[in-house]
Structure 1
Amino acid sequence: MDESTPLTSSKLHTVKNNPIVTSFLKAKTWYQSERLRKLRRWAALIVGSVMMIAAGTQYAFSSIGPSIKQQFHLTQYEVNLIGTATNIGSTTGILFSLINDFIGPRVCSLAAGIVLFGSYFIMSLTVSGAIPEAGNYIAMSAFMFLVGNSSGGAYIASLTTSVKNFPEKDRGLVVGLLSSFFGISSAIFSLCFSVVFRQSLPVYMFFCAIFGGVAVIILGTIFLDNNSSSEKKDTTPIVVKEVESNTETVSINSNLADETTGLVVEKEEGLQVLSEEEIKEKLAQDQIENINSWRMLISFDFWLIFIIIFLSIGSGITIVNNLGSIVLAYGGYNGQQTPIVITFSISNCLGRLVFGWLSDKFFSPKKGITRMFFLALCIIIMSISLLLFAFVPIPGFYPLIIIMGLCYGGILSVGPTYNSERFGPKYFGLNSTLQLVATSLGSYAFSTGMAGSIYQMNIIPPRTRTCHGKECYLLTFYILSGLCVVALLLSLVLHKRSLGLYFKIGRRRKYLAMLEKINVEKRKQKMNQA
C-alpha cells in the first residue's frame, strides 16, 4: 500500500507534464480567459444553433409516419400515438432539465446525446428487421418518447446557455434565433428522408443517430458555456447625471470632464445626479425574481400561459402530426406531404425568428405592445387559418401552412421568453420544460385523442385503416379553430396581468443602456490615456 503511493504520485506527475496534456490545459485556460468572454458567448450561440437542428428530428414525423404505418400495418390511431409519444418526450425531459440547471449544460448535452444516439440506433435495427420483436407501435412509441426526451434535453441546454449569456434586451431575439433552427430541422430531415435516402427508414434513422447523437455529445460538451454573461461586474466609481423623461424614450448625451463620465438627460424638474452604484441599486429594486419550479406551479400566471400553449400549440401540432394522413384523405399520394412539411418547417423557423425580433424591437408597455400582444396576434391568425383548412383543396394548403407556421413559431418563441422574464433565468431549464408539458398534453388530447377518433369514425367499410374525404378531418378543423379562440381570450387576460412586469422590464432596459453607455465612455477614456 505504502509503496504504491509514490508510484501513483509519479504517474500523476508524468501525466501533468505530458506535452499533450500541458498544451490542452494551456488552451483551456486561454479559452476561459476574461478577454474571450464575448467569443465564448457567440461560440455557444452558434453551437447551440447546430444542436437545435440535430435535436429537432421529431418535427419530421409527418414525413416518416405513413412509411411506419405501412411497414408495421398500423391504424391511424396507433401512428398518431407514436407521434404523440415523441411530443410528450420532448416536453417532459424533467431529468435533463434538472441536470442542466444544477450540474450544467455540458453534462446535460452528454447525457442527451447518448440517449438520442441509442434510441435512433435501436429503431434503425428495428425497421431493418434485425429486431423484429420491437416492430410494434408500443415499442416504437417508447423509442420515439426517448428520442423526444433527449432532444428536449439538447434544446434546453442550448437555450438556457444563451438566455443567461446575452443581455435582457436581446432575449426575445436570442430565443427566436435558437428556436428557429429547431423549427427548420424538420425541413432538413424531411428532405434527407425523401430525397437523400429515398424513404429508406433504416438508413434515415441511422443517419439521425449519427448526426443527432454525436453532434450533441461533441459540440455540447465542449462549447456550451453559460458563464460568459454579458453583465460584467465593475466597481469603478462614476458619477452620472440622469434625468427621466415623461415619455418612454430617453435621449442620452455624453460628456467628458475631469476624467469623469457624465450622462446628461433633460428633465422638467431639473437634474438629478446619480452614481453608478445608485443606478445599480435601482436595477436591484427592479430585479426580476428567480422563482423556482414549485413556486411557479402555484402561480396563476403560469397556469394561464400553460393553458394558452396547451390550446394553441396543441392545435398546431395536430395539423403537423396528421399532415400525411390529411393529404391522403384529401386525395393526395404518399410523399406529397413532404413539400408541405418542408414549407411548414421554413415558416415555423421564420416565425420564431421574426416574432422574437419584433417583440424586442417594438417593445413598448405604454402603448400596450408587450410579448403578450404578439402572442395574441399569433393565436388569432392561427385560429382563422385552421378554419380555412376545412374548405380548401390540397394546393390551398401551402399559403395556409405558411401562415400557420409563422404563428406557430411565434408562439413557441414568445412563450419561453415570457417564462424567463416572469420567473427569472436561474431555473429556466426546468421551468421551461414544465411549461412545454402543455404542448405534449395538447398533442395527445387533440392529435391522438380527438383527431384520431374522428378519423376512425369516418372510415367507410370495408376499409378499416384508411379514411377518404374531407369528412375525415372537417370536424377537427372546426374544433381546433374554436380552441384557439379560447386561447386568445386567455392571452388577453395574461396581457393585462403582465403589464406591470413589462413596465419594470422597460425601466431595467433604460438603466442597463445607461450602464453600457458608461462602459463605452470609460473605454474611450482608457484609449485616450493610452
Structure 2
Amino acid sequence: MVKTQVNRWLIMATGMLMMTVAGTIYLYPDYATALRGQLNFSIAESARIGTLLNLGAWMTVIGGIFYDRFGPLRTGLIGAVTTFVGYFLMFLAAQERIIHTWIAVGFYAFIMGQGSGWMYCVALNTSVQNFPARNRGKIVGLLACCFGLCSGIFTRLHAGFFSESDGSNGGDIAPFLFFLAVTTGGLGLAYTFFQQILTETTVTQKPAEARRVAAAYAIALAVATYIAASSISAAFSSHDDSRPLAVGLIVLVFSLLLLPVGSGPWLRFGRQAQYTRLADDHEHHAADTHKLPPSINVTATSNAPTKTHYTLLEAVTSLDFWLIFLVLFFGVGAGICIVNNLPEIVISRLPPSEAGRVIASSDVPHSKDSSTLVALFSVFNTCGRLLSGYLSDAFAHRISRLGFLVMGSLLMGAVQVYFMFTSIDGMYGAVVLLGIAYGSFFCLVPALVSEAFGMATFGATFGLQGLAPAAGSEVFGTAIAGRLADSYANHAHLTVITKSGDKVIHCIGAECFRYSLLCTAGGCLIGAGLALWMAYRQRRGTANTLKLHAS
C-alpha cells in the first residue's frame, strides 16, 4: 500500500511538541487551590485528586501494550481524545453541571491522566526506536524535558490569558480547564499524525546528527530560561506584562518545528509495509560494547546468558524490574508529595500570627509564590532531564546510569530535608534542586528499561513501571502528607474566603508537613540503597538483565 513516510527529525520535533501538551499532570498545583475553594474540598481530598491524576498518567501499561500491538497513530488518537474528555469533565464539574464530589473529580482527573500517559507513550517510544542506541540518553532526555516543561508553559499561559481564574485570588477556574481541554486534546491530535516508526532508516553521519541534537537542546534550554525569567519577573515586578510574555513563549515553543529544516523532505510518498517494529538497536550496542575497556566490559566476565529482548512476563518476573520499580516508588513518590502539596507547603510557612485569621483570597500573603514555584519546578525538572540524559551518555564508560540513579535518589532525599526547615524565600533554591532530582528519574529510568529489557515490549514494560510513581503519590502525598496536614489544621489554620464566598482551610505551622517530609527522606535513602545494590549486581555480572551495560 502507498503510505506517507515522515522525516525522522519532524517525528522528533512533533514528539517534543506532543510532550509539551501531555505533561499537564504537573500543572495541578497551579489550579488546585482554586478548584478546592470552588468545590469545598479538604487538603486530603485535594491531594487524592492529584494522586488519581498521577495514577492515570503513570498507569500506562494498557497504553503500552496497545502501542506495541497497534503502533503510534491509533494510540495517539485515543490519548488525545481521552485527554480532552477528562479535562472537559473537570470543566463541567467546576461549573457544578455534573457530579462534583472529590471522588468524581478524581475520576475525571484519572481519565485526563490516562490520555496524558498514552500521548507520553507515543512520543517517547516512537523517537527512541527511530534513533540509534548511542544517542538514547539524549533523545529520552529531550522528550522527557518537554514533558516537564509543559506545566511551566501552561502556568505562564494561565497567568497571561486567565488572570481572573488565578488560584491565588480565588477566581473561577472553569474557563482555564476548558482551555486545557481544547489545547491539549486538539494539539495532541494534530501531532499524532506525524508520529511514525520508520521501518527503514537512513544512516545519518554522527556530526550532522549531533548538531541537530544540540540544536534541540538549545531550544529546550531557551524555553526553560524564558519560563524562569518570566516567572521571576511576574513574582517581583509590579508591572503586569504576563500576556505579551505568554505570546512570546508560544512563538519560542513552536520554534521546535525548525529542527527538521535542511534534513531532507519532510514527507515522502512510496510503498511501505504494514506497521512493523524496528529491531532493537543491538547492532549498535554490540559495536559499542566491544570498544569498552576490559575493566568495564561486563559482558566478557558475566556467566549469565546474553539476551537482548525480554517478553513482558520475563521482564516482570525479573528481580531487576522490581528493584527499578521500588527506586521509582520512593524517589518519585517523594517528589510528587512536595509538588502536589506545594501551595499548602507555602501557606504553612506563614508566621504563627496568621493562625486563626479569616481573610479574603486576594489578601493571602505570598500569593504569587506558589505559581512561580510551580513554573520554576517545571524549568529545573527540564534541566534535570536534559542534564542526566547528556551526562549518562557522555560518561557511560565511567559511570553507569545506575550510578546516576543513586545520585538522583540521594539528592531527592536531601531536598526533602531542605523543605523541612526552609522558609518561603528559601523554597526557591529548594525547588531548583527538587526539579533537577525529579527530572533525573524520568530520563534515566526509560533508558534503563529499554537497555535492560529490549524494545520488543518497551511500551508495556515501561507502562508497568509507571505504577510506581502513582503508588508513591498515594502513599506519601495523600495517605501521609494530606492526612497529617488536615490533622494539624485542627490546631492552627488560616481561613481564606474565595470570591464566590467559599471557605478554604489552610494548615499553619512547620509541623504541617515536617513529619511527612521526614518519611519521604527516609524512603529516598532506601531507594538509593536499592539502586546501589543494582549497580553492584551489574558490575559483578549477576544481574539477569542489566549485565549488558557498563558500570
Q: How does 1:277-316 map to 2 (within 5 A)?
A: 289-316=308-335
Q: Closer, same or farther in 2 for the Cα pair 1:379/1:213, shift >3 Å?
A: same
Q: Is the contact made by 1:66 and 1:334 (CA closer than 8 Å) also made in structure 2?
A: no
Matched AA of 1:491: A
Please give the secondary structure, in 2, of the residue aligned with 1:395.
coil
Say whether 1:183 aligns with 2:148: yes
Q: For the structure 1 residues 213 and 49, does the alpha-carbon distance in structure 2 shift closer, same or farther, using more than 3 Å as the test?
A: same
State TM-score, norm by structure 2.
Answer: 0.73
Residue in structure 1 matched with residue 23 of structure 2 by the alignment = 56
Q: Which runs of 5+ in 2 are unaligned?
A: 167-171, 204-277, 280-287, 297-303, 351-364, 494-503
Residues 184-217 of structure 1 deviation map (CA, whole Å, 9 limit, x = unaligned): 1010112222332112422211111111111111
What are the Cα deviations for residues 279-325 of structure 1, in whole angstroms up to 9, with x where unaligned?
A: xxxxxx99752212211111100110100100010000000000011
2:369 matches 1:336: yes
Cα deviation for residue 128 of structure 1 reads: 2.8
Candidates 101, 104, 116, aligned match of 1:139: 104
CA contact (8 A) 2:11 2:194 kept: no
Matched, 1:212 2:184: yes
Please state if 1:160 is matched with 2:193. no
Q: What is the distance in 1 between the residues matched to 2:426 and 2:186?
A: 39
- The amino acid of 1:412's aligned partner reads F
Pair 83,503 (structure 1): closer, same or farther in 2 beyond 3 Å: closer
Deviations 1:110-150 (A, max 9, x none): 11111111121222222234x1x322211110110001111
Task: Name the CA distance, whole Å, in 2 between partners of 1:452 and 1:355.
Answer: 31
Q: What corresponds to 2:444 in structure 1?
A: 414
Alignment pair present for 1:487 and 2:452: no
CA distance in 2, matches of 1:63, 1:299: 39
For the 8 Å contact 1:327–1:394, the answer to whether it is kept is yes
- Residue 7 of structure 2 aligns to which amino acid in structure 1? R
Distance 1:227 1:385 in 2: 44
Task: Give the distance between the partners of 1:230 and 1:426, measured in 2 at CA.
Answer: 21
TM-score by length of 1: 0.76
Shift of 1:477: 1.6
- Structure 1 residue 248 displacement after superposition: 6.2
Q: Offset at 1:48?
A: 0.7
Residues 330, 469 of structure 1: 8 Å contact kept: yes
CA RMSD between the two structures = 2.6
2:422 counterpart SS class: coil
Measured at CA, do residues 246 and 470 of structure 1 come closer, stay the same or move farther in structure 2, by a change above 3 Å? closer
Deviation at 1:222, TM superposition (A): 3.5
**Structure 2 counterpart of 1:457, one-letter code:** S
CA contact (8 A) 1:89 1:145 kept: yes
Return the match for 1:363 from 396, 406, 422. Answer: 396
**Partners of 2:385 and 2:15 in 1: CA distance:** 15
Secondary structure in 1 matching 2:506: coil
Aligned-pair CA distance for 1:63: 0.8
Q: Is 1:317 the equivalent of 2:336? A: yes
Q: Rg bigger for which structure?
A: 1
Deviation at 1:380, TM superposition (A): 1.0
In the alignment, which residue of structure 1 is the partner of 2:83?
A: 116
Does structure 2 retain, via aligned residues, the 8 Å contact 1:316–1:408? yes
- 1:315-348 residue CA offsets vs partner (Å, 9 max, x unmatched): 0000000001111111254442000011111000
Letter of the 2:373 counterpart: I
1:261 matched to which residue of 2?
none
Which SS does the other structure have where 1:466 is aligned?
A: strand
Matching residue of 2:433: 403
SS in 1 for 2:341: helix
Name the aligned partner's letter for residue 66 of structure 2. I
- Give the aligned residue type for 2:190: I
The reply on whether 1:437 has 2:467 as its aligned counterpart is yes
CA drift of 1:385 comes to 1.7
Aligned-partner Cα distance in 2 for 1:107–1:245: 40
Measured in 2, the distance between the counterparts of 1:246 and 1:149 equals: 41
Query: Structure 2: how far apart are the matches of 1:114 and 1:245?
Result: 46
CA separation in 1, counterparts of 2:526 and 2:14? 38
Amino acid corresponding to residue 305 of structure 1 in structure 2:
I
- Mapping 1:31-50, distance limit 5 Å: 31-32=4-5, 40-50=7-17
**Cα offsets for 1:39-72 (capped at 9, x unmatched):** 6221111111011111111101011111111001
- With over 3 angstroms needed to count, the CA separation of the structure-2 counterparts of 1:462 and 1:394, relative to structure 1, is closer
SS of match in other structure, 1:347: helix
Structure 1: gaps of 5 or more residues: 1-24, 33-38, 234-241, 251-284, 508-530
1:266-277 correspondence runs (5 A): none
Greater shift, 224-233 or 196-205, is seen at 224-233
Q: 1:196 maps to which residue?
A: 161
Q: Secondary structure at the match of 1:473?
A: helix
Aligned partners of 1:87 and 1:503: how far apart in 2? 32
55-64 or 198-207: which moved more?
198-207
Give a deviation string over 1:448-493, Cα, whole Å, max 9, x none.
1000111122123586942101110111121111111111111100
Change (3 A) 1:177 1:124: same
Residue 453 (structure 2) pairs with residue 423 (structure 1): yes
Tell me the equivalent position of 2:404: 374
CA distance in 2 between counterparts of 1:481 and 1:387 reads 7
Cα displacement string for residues 227-257 of structure 1 (whole angstroms, at most 9, x for unaligned residues): 3546799xxxxxxxx9x7894699xxxxxxx
Q: How does 1:11-30 map to 2 (within 5 A)?
A: 29=3
